[in-house]
């Protein structure tokens, strides 16, 4: 089992979520984060003085899936989160040793 | 309980005791020497006064409500970690100011002239509102002057926010309300020398320096004390980068700032028209219109300035612009026509933008822009009165002599106003420097850098303003790199 | 639609129908038996009344605006998950109260005395403002009394917040506005027995129990019903640890709480001075000053108490202090001098702090501190009037007999006030217990523990107050371990 | 600086210049041809007017404060990413409106009738408040009319929020305040044809179409321009799902929405009773009562409607309900009794709920529900006046002829009101369509989809309303799937 | 060493925290997240119109523990976070290669 | 590749960020969290009553880096986040199996 951690643009989240849902990936955990990378921030003003913001709001989606599903999920997320501009985000694949469903105590793949 | 607190408390205990002892005799049970406490005599002598009392009091209520406006503007422009502290300062300056103005502020400001009627330096009667001051007319005026005094006091809190010790602010509130504000107030409104000394009256051509509702008395006094305080305190950590370039530190809630601006604008209709102290002065209608037009013209000007400069209209500066226009029209509101009000407002819009940026570029970290809004535009208010007064209204009353300015052929009065503006600056800035210098040398005026970084809510009040919210400074403003002009 | 809702709706439908049927005849198209609905006759008879109408109405508007102040203070002291519910309750008690006071509250409070003019228990005329009550003077008084009634009603919402069913609150609002408040109000202000029964008048030396603007009639009534409601409801989940020690549950927005305090203070200038119902009473100036000084003295006192106790001045308690002082001065505001106002305020500051902590230590979970602020200080207001009245103002009017208290040699009047305070407590607390006991036995007054934990916004209104914010209770207050005294 | 901005600025520069040039002569230094600028003459002729001036001005201040209420309601119903923009629009429409109404709006609305006194289409005197208009009475009326004009203007901002270009809104603000509002205003309140043309007066039986405080003149005008603007703009992205079913987009702060509702309710007491322009009309008491009862009845109705429909009382709709009742009673407030006020309110509660849902189901995305609240209920106000006027009050004054409606046997007046309502709709909706159509074809009225998704705060103002908070749309409303009726 | 990532109901957080504390697990890092899974969201209304919310607020607890402690912690969390209804949450076990205590620079198990 | 998860004091975040930037570590994802450990919380008051807060605000920085960079990053963070008092925070090193750059679809180290 793997945990897929995708950091994407906030404004693409809804599309990604719907695409995942259509392919049967319903469970997920979402966090609001701020990130920076190649994307160089943006300019805001405060009382007429310009400033540079270098941490931009992003959404982090965490999905735990079986090993076989990993590539599917990666493809879906990449497809739907992409705009082609810097700042589209990253997907990290992290090994998961075990999963427990709190409600039933089930373990392993059937608990996902 | 820290030693500092202990000392503050003991001090306050002693002062309070002294006050009560002083008060006791004057408060004696027999009302023999009191004024017209019931109001029956006053009403009989002036059967038309009920509407003037109602007008003055209601306008005073509106001015009192400006405290909420200031609190919101300042809190909106502060960071989350200082919200409770800024709010508390705004509450407490009104609280302490009310008591200080009762004990002595009013007596100094509106009491009988000393040393002489011709050359009033300070007032000397009406302490504790006791004795003769237990009188309905005196009380009405006390209330109206109090809310003005509290306005002057509260201006400083926003400028110096996010770094001073709370205990220092408590003491500052008492001193400005008891002494600094009342003395300049006396000179202008209490029959003191600026308005009434023979040489001033001669220079002005029948009247000395004037200030209808307090561009100078209230706003510039507050603004220049704020300037002194900002200098004595130094800028907030992180306000300037290694090269000394200012970095914007955005406030945490722009909605509060705009709401506060609306409340202040609303309250200003008490501030300016109310300053006739009488609804029989039908000029109140003209005053209301001028007030509104100047605020609007200045807000529009500030908006367009930022729009042209950065390509987008800035919300915070538009708020500052509105307030700047309102400050500027406060002195001339009763004496100019609507066209002049618009011009005064447009100029105010320029002054507040460039004034604020100038100070920021020169190391003055004024969180809300109070020096530019209240100080510079307060001065502009005094001067513009000297320029635009159009001869359609008298000296705080319909009756003549009617006040005229430079444009209407009275350069002497213009000079009076310049003198008044200079004295105003010297007095406020000087007193401010002295007060904060003494406090700095004795108790220290600034929290430690660690406390400042953690925020004054936790370190000064052991509280958190929004405990159920995730608040962050990681996105803004901690990750701001170098502001650009 | 749940069964509960269905029943509520049917009930309301029936009641409304009944009311309309009752109303129809009195509303008949012929205005034969109406009062002076145009105002022409009244103006002719009293050409000086326009200013009194304007004064009374504007002050009434300010009092109405206090609803916003209460809403903010209460919401600020509530957790995020109950924000919409607290706001909604504050809105709806004004809404329901307006209708209930129109239907019957006013008639009971200000209608003709029953059983006799000498011993008024309830009023009996003016239902639906129909017939003779369609009169400009009646309407002005109706409006002014309504906003007072709504103030009493809204006090309870903050005390019991975060746990009662919304439907219960709707019914409570109707009952207090239609019955509980008007009856005690009648006794004091409607010519009822406490103020006018011969034995009371004799005891007081020419006047019975007094209450200028409602320390007792409005605030203590609300405060003691709140006490009864808190007892019947029990504390919020998590308020007490296993050992019964109280745990603070911080409110979610201290800025709202301070803003609300400013709005209330502002509105209080309508509340107290407005209660002359006439600008011809120039005493309004004294009333405004006293109101302000008491609020300031109490706020300063509460601030210093927490400062000494915990080493840091507490923001929430300072707000409570300000309100406590304003409540306390509400009864005596017209009859005392400014020195007494300060003393009354200082005592109020002590009462609110120690009163609140006492209740909290004894299992009363009053979210905003309403019992201490409005209940205890309401009583203190009634009593302090009996002590400090200084003989400079008459019975709600400038004309004599002038009211004097204990300090000025009138122990009889002091007794009157004690009786009034006792009756006030018994009536409010008793009615509160009965009302909430009946509601508990019939429909149940409290949401389920699950609902309470999820929050009333979702469970009672299917809404979330701040949907775009990440809100949390993991840091605060869920992770608080045991409060300490 | 983008091209768009450059053009806007140049435009404004030219316009301003033109205005000043035009103004210069009328502002000439000699006050020869001016009105009574000091007020001395007016006071002498009308010694009773001070209370009327005070009343009119204070009520006008309250109406001005409604701007804050609108700003809060609209901001509360907007998403976090548009908070600064909505606030800014509310501030700036008041600012631009003030200037536009000064330049020409007032002259068109209240100036001398053109083409003839009998058939007034537009007013033609009082430009820049110069010349004869420099008069205390004119100024008082200017101020009162301005704040009404600004109310009409601001209604639109909430309806169309979250998508129009800010520059478009600036231009819209100028046009409505300078032209659209003043013209219909002239027809009703400036002596224009709807109120005064002989055929209308004959039809009404002594008076033409009436509108006491502006259900039609202010609210319906704003509401129907909003409708036109919503149609021209189209719905927000995400408002409708693939099947065209509406999806709710919850506002970010329900506490602001309720606070705004309280402020509006408070301000309405200036709006309606103040519209007598005289405290000598003691009918103000009846007006205040009716205003309050209609608001309460409508709020209760809306609450119960949602309670029955969805099983839980909805907070947002209850706020809308209160405002709907207040809008509806605004035209009839002076002419009906309290029973009728309650009925008018109940009907308003139904209109606002079903009206809003109807529009939402038909593709009109009105963020705050302004069309239902101000448009539909504005019309209902005009019509209900034609039904319920009970013959106890004259044509804006106590003196006869007293106004009666359908129920009291005057179908002619009812017809007048229907005509007025139809004209009102045609004028506002038509002008709105034309204005926004022209703007759409020339500069474009809507931001790009990318900008809309990012939010107008960043794209139009380069700011973030709450920089220290973590804000999210991932939970709400982005994850809403299909609203259900 | 393992990182235990538990996503639980917000309202159960206090109980879980206390239970962990009693068994000696004091250190933890907590994040507010939003999640969905089998639990089908809830209905809210806005201005009288009903809507379906499909991301519900949850609390994520992260605890880094030694390999031996993993099962203990899983049991405690499961026991105290369980209501038996869908939405009780999940526990993920993730391998940790090293831990550093910033204050001292210690590494490995003694840094936990 | 590894994911470095550092939980540090909020007030040290700016220093750490700048230090990382100077050494060329620009990309990162930041989350606001609350944590507890040896640090024993702080005292606040509400309406004059004292309370103990045991979850304190912290900032979590996530950086994905190549295996060689791990120690560098650890040193930088440790150096700049340290005050020497309890509560300085912890750094966890977590294995990453793959990284995807959404914009380009690149995988592995070159996607970091
Ligand atoms: N090395 C990294 N470690 C952790 N998160 C990263 C790293 N690099 C980028 N991110 C996250 O990915 C987001 C997008 O990265 P960025 O480099 O701007 O875009 P792109 O991947 O399209 O070049 C960043 O905002 C940040 O949250
Ligand atoms: N595949 C998954 N990946 C990541 N998080 C998940 C996944 N499935 C569920 N979750 C998280 O666990 C929470 C509870 O899951 P849910 O399926 O609703 O309950 P249960 O596990 O009791 O069936 C969700 O709200 C979500 O935060
Ligand atoms: N076992 C743990 N698992 C997860 N996070 C932890 C753990 N221990 C500590 N933390 C995090 O590290 C932060 C600092 O830990 P603490 O023990 O207070 O300081 P120090 O590491 O300096 O002794 C905590 O606030 C918490 O966020």
Tell me how far CA of residue C222 lies from CA of C213, C327, C353, in angstroms.
Answer: 14, 12, 19
CA distances from D415 to A57, D200, D386, D394, F28 (A): 58, 9, 8, 18, 70
Instruction: Kindly report which listed range (C49-58, C264-273, C397-406) carries the lowest average pLDDT score.
Output: C397-406
Instruction: Give the mean model confidence (pLDDT) for residues D51-76.
Output: 98
Flag whether residue E20 sits within 8 Å of chain C, measured between CB atoms.
no
User: Where does the pLDDT of residue D478 fall: very low under 50, low under 70, confident under 90, or very high at 90 and above?
Assistant: very low
Q: What's the complex ipTM?
A: 0.95
- pLDDT of res. B321: 98
B60 vs C324: CA distance, rounded Å: 22
Cα separation, B413 vs B419, whole angstroms: 10
The ligand placed nearest to the CA atom of residue E62 is 3
pLDDT in tens, D15-31: 666 666 555 544 544 44
Q: Tell me what pLDDT residue B480 has.
A: 42
* Cα Rg of chain A (Å, integer): 17
Residue C473 CB: number of other CB atoms within 10 A? 25
Q: How many domains does chain E have?
A: 1
Find the mean pLDDT for residues F40-62: 87
Q: What does the pLDDT read at residue B8?
A: 65
Task: Judge whether residue E81 has pLDDT over 70.
Answer: yes
Q: Could you tell me the distance, in angstroms and rounded to a whole number, from the CA of residue E89 to the centre of ligand 2? A: 5
What is the C-alpha separation between F56 and A22, in angstroms, rounded?
40
- D433-445 residues labelled b (16+ CB within 10 A) or e (exposed): bebbeebeeeeeb
Looking at residue B478, its pLDDT comes to 34
Residue C290: the pLDDT is 98
Residue B485 has pLDDT above 50, yes or no: no
Task: Find the length of chain F.
Answer: 112
Distance from C-alpha of C336 to C-alpha of C289, rounded to nearest angstrom: 11
List chains touching F (3+ CB pairs under 8 A).
Answer: A, B, C, E
Q: State the pLDDT at residue B242.
A: 86
Containing H/E element for F44?
strand F42-46
Ligand 3 centroid to B426 CA: how many Å?
A: 55
Confirm if D158 and D319 have CB atoms less than 8 A apart: no
Q: Is the pLDDT of residue D327 over 90?
A: yes
In chain D, which among 365-394 make CB contacts under 8 A with chain C? 390-394
Query: For a pLDDT cut of 90, what percent of chain D falls above it?
Result: 85
Q: Does the pLDDT at position E27 exceed 50?
A: yes
Mean pLDDT within A81-91: 92
CA of B173 to the centre of ligand 1 (A): 50
Q: What is the mean pLDDT of chain D?
A: 92
HEC sequence for chain D: CCHHHHHHHHHHHHHHHHHHHHHHHHCCCCCCCCCCCCCHHHHHHCCCHHHHHHHHHHHHHHHHHHHHHHHHHHHHCCCHHHHHHHHHHHHHHHHHHHHHHHHHHHHHHHCCEEECCCCEEEECCCHHHCHHHCCHHHHHHHHHHHHHHHHHHHHHHHHCCCCECHHHHHHHHHHHHHHHHHHHHHHHHCCCHHHHCHHHHHHHCCCCCCCCCCHHHHHHHHHHHHHHHHHHHCCCCCCECCCCCECCCCCCCHHHHHHHHHHHHHHHHHHCHHHHCCCCCCCHHHHHHHHHHHHHHHHHHHHHHHHHHHCCCCHHHHHHHHHHHHHHHHCCCCCCCHHHHHHHHHHHHHHHHHHHHHHHHCCCCCCCCHHHHHHHHHHHHHHHHHHHCECCCCCCCCCCCCCECHHHCCHHHHHHHHHHHHHHHHHHHHHHHHHHHHHHHHCCCECCHHHHHHCHHHHHHCCCCCCCECECCCCCCCCEEEEEC
> Is the pLDDT reported for residue D482 higher than 70?
no
pLDDT at D14 > cutoff 70: no
| Band of residue C303 on the pLDDT scale cut at 50, 70, 90 | very high
Regarding the beta carbon of A87 and ligand 1, being less than 6 Å apart is answered yes
Which residue range is the domain that position F16 belongs to?
2-111
State the Cα–Cα distance between residues B123 and B111, nearest whole angstrom.
4
Q: pLDDT tens digits for D260-319?
A: 999 999 999 999 999 999 999 999 999 999 999 999 999 999 999 999 999 999 999 999
Q: What's the average model confidence in pLDDT over C67-85?
A: 97
Of the pLDDT bands very low, low, confident and very high (cuts 50, 70, 90), residue A39 is confident
Cβ-Cβ contacts under 8 Å for A27 (sequence gap 6 or more): A63, A64, A112, E35, E36, E37, E38, E90
Tally Cβ neighbours within 10 Å of residue C309. Answer: 18
φ and ψ at residue F107, rounded to 5 degrees:
-130, 160
Other C-beta atoms closer than 10 Å to the C-beta of D423 total 17
* Chain D residues touching residue A30 (CB < 8 angstroms): 474-475
C458: which chain E residues are within 8 Å (Cβ-Cβ)? 42, 44
Residue-wise pLDDT tens digits, D436-455: 999 999 999 999 999 999 89
Q: Could you give the C-alpha distances from B368 to B76, B77, B230, B316, B468, in angstroms and in order?
A: 9, 6, 12, 9, 27
Q: Are B369 and B320 in contact (CB under 8 A)?
A: yes
B4 pLDDT tier (thresholds 50, 70, 90): low
Chain F residues touching residue C311 (CB < 8 angstroms):
none
Residue C2, pLDDT score: 62
Which residue of chain A is at minimal alpha-carbon distance from E83? Answer: A103
Percentage, residues of chain B above pLDDT 70:
91
> What is the CATH number for F87?
3.30.70.120
pLDDT at B472 over 80: no
Residue-wise pLDDT tens digits, B353-400: 999 999 999 999 999 999 999 999 999 999 999 999 999 999 999 988
User: Which tens digits make up the pLDDT trace of C456-476?
Assistant: 999 999 999 998 888 776 444
| Cα distance between residue C291 and residue C296, in whole Å | 9
* Helix (H) or strand (E) segment spanning residue E28: strand E28-36
pLDDT range class, residue F37, cuts 50, 70, 90: confident
Which residue among C83, C98, C102 places its CB closest to the CB of D254?
C83
CB contact under 8 A, F45 and C310: yes
Our CA-based measurement puts residue D274 at a distance from the nearest CA of chain C, in whole angstroms, of 10
**B31/C282 Cβ within 8 A:** no
Q: What is the pLDDT of residues C435-446, one digit of tens each?
A: 999 999 999 999
With a cut of 90, say whether residue C26 has pLDDT above it: no
Choose among B236, B306, B241: nearest CA to B483. Answer: B241
Residue B375: predicted pLDDT: 98
Atom number of ligand 1 nearest to Cα F64 = 3
Q: Does A30 touch chain E (CB under 8 A)?
A: yes
Which residue intervals of B102-235 are DSSP H helices? 106-110, 136-159, 166-175, 181-189, 193-196, 198-204, 221-233
DSSP-assigned states of every residue in C229-242:
HHHHH-PPTTSB-T
Q: How far is the CA of B242 from the centre of ligand 1 (A)?
A: 28
Return all residues near E96 (Cβ < 8 A) that are at least 6 apart. E1, E2, E3, E64, F92, F93, F94
CB C329 within 8 A of CB C345: yes
| Alpha-carbon distances of B141 from B93, B137, B189, C27, rounded to whole Å | 20, 6, 12, 47
What is the distance in angstroms between the Cα of A64 and the nearest Cα belonging to chain E? 8
Bridge partners (DSSP) listed for residue C349: none
pLDDT band at C482 (very low <50, low <70, confident <90, very high): very low
The CA distances from residue B353 to B316, C399, D260, in Å, are 11, 57, 30
pLDDT score recorded for residue B30: 47
HEC string of C105-169 equals HHHHHHCCEEECCCCEEEECCCHHHCHHHCCHHHHHHHHHHHHHHHHHHHHHHHHCCCCECHHHH
Tell me the pLDDT of chain B averaged across its residues: 92
Residue B239 CA, chain-centre distance (Å), reads 25
Q: CB D470 to CB A32 under 8 A?
A: yes
């Amino acid at each position: 089992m793997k945990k897929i951690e995708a950091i994407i643009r906030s404004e693409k989240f809804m599309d990604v979520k719907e695409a995942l849902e259509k392919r049967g990936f319903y469970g997920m955990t979402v966090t609001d984060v701020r990130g920076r990378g190649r994307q160089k921030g943006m300019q805001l003003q405060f009382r007429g003085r310009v400033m540079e913001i270098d941490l931009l709001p992003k959404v982090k989606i965490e999905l735990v899936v079986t090993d076989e599903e990993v590539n599917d999920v990666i493809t879906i997320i990449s497809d739907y989160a992409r705009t082609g501009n810097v700042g589209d985000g990253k997907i990290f694949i992290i090994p998961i040793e075990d999963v427990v469903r709190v409600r039933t105590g089930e373990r392993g793949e059937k608990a996902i | 309980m820290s030693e500092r607190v202990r000392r503050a408390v003991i001090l306050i205990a002693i002062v309070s005791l002294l006050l009560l002892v002083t008060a006791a005799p004057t408060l004696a049970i027999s009302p023999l020497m009191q004024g017209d406490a019931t109001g029956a005599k006053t009403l009989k002598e002036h059967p038309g006064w009920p509407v003037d009392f109602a007008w003055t009091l209601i306008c005073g209520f509106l001015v009192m409500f400006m405290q909420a406006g200031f609190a919101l503007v300042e809190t909106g422009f502060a960071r989350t970690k200082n919200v409770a502290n800024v709010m508390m300062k705004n509450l407490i300056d009104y609280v302490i100011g009310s008591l200080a103005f009762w004990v002595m502020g009013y007596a100094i400001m509106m009491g009988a002239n000393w040393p002489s009627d011709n050359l009033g330096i300070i007032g000397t009667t009406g302490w504790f509102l006791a004795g003769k001051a237990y009188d309905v007319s005196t009380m009405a005026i006390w209330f109206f002057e109090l809310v003005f005094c509290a306005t002057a006091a509260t201006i400083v809190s926003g400028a110096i926010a996010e770094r001073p010790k709370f205990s220092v602010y408590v003491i500052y509130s008492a001193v400005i309300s008891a002494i600094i504000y009342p003395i300049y107030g006396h000179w202008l409104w209490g029959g003191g020398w600026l308005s009434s000394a023979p040489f001033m009256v001669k220079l002005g051509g029948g009247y000395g320096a004037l200030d209808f509702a307090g561009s100078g008395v209230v706003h510039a006094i507050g603004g220049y004390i704020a300037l002194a305080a900002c200098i004595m305190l130094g800028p907030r950590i992180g306000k300037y980068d290694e090269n000394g370039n200012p970095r914007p530190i955005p406030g945490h809630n722009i909605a509060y700032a705009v709401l506060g601006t609306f409340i202040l604008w609303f309250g200003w209709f008490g501030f300016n028209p109310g300053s006739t102290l009488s609804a029989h002065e039908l000029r109140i209608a003209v005053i209301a219109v001028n007030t509104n037009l100047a605020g609007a013209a200045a807000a529009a000007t500030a908006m367009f300035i930022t729009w042209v400069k950065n390509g987008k209209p800035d919300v915070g500066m538009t708020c500052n612009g509105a307030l700047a226009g309102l400050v500027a029209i406060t002195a001339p509101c009763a004496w100019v026509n609507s066209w002049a009000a618009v011009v005064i407002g447009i100029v105010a819009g320029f002054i507040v933008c460039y004034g604020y940026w100038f100070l920021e570029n020169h190391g003055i970290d004024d969180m809300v822009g109070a020096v530019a809004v209240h100080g510079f535009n307060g001065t502009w208010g005094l001067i513009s009165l000297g320029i635009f007064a159009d001869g359609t209204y008298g000296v705080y009353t319909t009756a003549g002599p009617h006040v005229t300015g430079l444009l209407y052929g009275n350069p002497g009065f213009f000079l009076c106003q310049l003198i008044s503006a200079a004295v105003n600056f010297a007095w406020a800035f000087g007193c401010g420097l002295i007060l904060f210098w003494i406090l700095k040398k004795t108790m220290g005026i600034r929290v430690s850098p660690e406390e400042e970084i953690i925020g004054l809510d936790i370190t000064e009040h052991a509280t958190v303003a929004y405990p159920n919210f995730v608040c962050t400074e990681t996105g803004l403003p901690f990750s701001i790199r170098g502001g650009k002009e």
